[in-house]
Amino acid sequence: MQKSHSAKGLIVITGAGQRVGLHCAAALQQQGYQLLVSYRKMTAGIAALQQAGAHCIAADFNQLESMATFIAALQNYPAIRAIIHNASSWQADLPRQYASDSQTMSAQLQQDAAVFDAMQHIHARAPYLLNRALLPKLLASTDGADIIHLTDFVASVGSSKHQAYAASKAALENLTLSLARQLAPKVKVNAIAPALVMFNENDDAVYRQQALAKSLMAVAPGPDEVLQTILYLLHSNYITGRILPLDGGRHLKLP
């Protein structure tokens, strides 16, 4: 693959090792953007991005030292055109238990707190800290600058089995609004809230049919739907403080 040039500026993408993040990173690189991306585990996709000229850094954003190392890697870049916060973890709530004594209750609270904290750390705390640390480089961009948060459909409707996850994504959407107010007109800040975009390889036919039936469009559009929305925001000179839903009309699929 031919190495990409940096005529369109630097885009930082968190969580680009697979699926939506990898697809968007590869496409943006092919379009001429310089890339600096984070990943948790080395994948064939990350290796391909590196070979094509992307700067790829292993990072665990639950750990502040690892985040500091990631931020330090941007020291030699004078400006950032956009930050796309894609790093995510879809962790379910633990089965509810009814404790009969304080020791059992304490253990239960610690387990539930660990799930809640993990979701907040990756989906709200990490973007908050990265945006603050990298703001000078966003403001240094001569072609405008964007912050794009990847949230989730459940941020607006809740989730019975992923309450901590949904709450953390809702926190990220609120950060989107606060940052848009603070950084306009220098930096546009928006969020993209997908529902079903793509299946996992091990999803069975029954699950796929049930999931598709939740939206009006009844399709899994694939990661390119997210990419096109990112490009739409990057090319806009006016949109900020918005959460763009990618849900196939799911909000209108009434019982």
- Largest CA-CA distance found in the chain, in angstroms, rounded: 63
What integer pLDDT is reported at residue 64 of this predicted model? 97
- One digit per residue, the tens of pLDDT, for the chain of length 255 reads 333 345 689 999 999 999 999 999 999 999 999 999 999 999 999 999 999 999 999 999 999 999 999 999 999 999 999 999 999 999 999 998 777 788 788 889 999 999 999 999 999 999 999 999 999 999 999 999 999 999 999 999 999 999 999 999 999 999 999 999 999 999 999 999 999 998 988 888 998 999 999 999 999 999 999 999 999 999 999 999 999 999 999 999 876
What integer pLDDT is reported at residue 4 of this predicted model? 39
Is 165 labeled as catalytic in the residue annotation?
Answer: yes
Strands 34-39 and 187-194: unpaired
What integer pLDDT is reported at residue 129 of this predicted model? 98
Give 245's strand partners: 193
Question: 215 and 194 in contact (C-beta within 8 Å)?
Answer: no
Query: How many residues can be counted in the chain?
Result: 255
pTM of the predicted model, to two decimals? 0.93
- What does the alpha-carbon distance between residue 245 and residue 120 come to, in Å, rounded to a whole number? 21
Give 56's strand partners: 37
- What does the alpha-carbon distance between residue 68 and residue 60 come to, in Å, rounded to a whole number? 10
Q: Which member of 77, 98, 128, 165 is catalytic?
A: 165
The structural domains of the chain, ordered by start, are 10-252 (3.40.50.720)
Structure token pair of residue 188: 């546009």
Q: How far is CA 91 from the centre of its chain?
A: 15
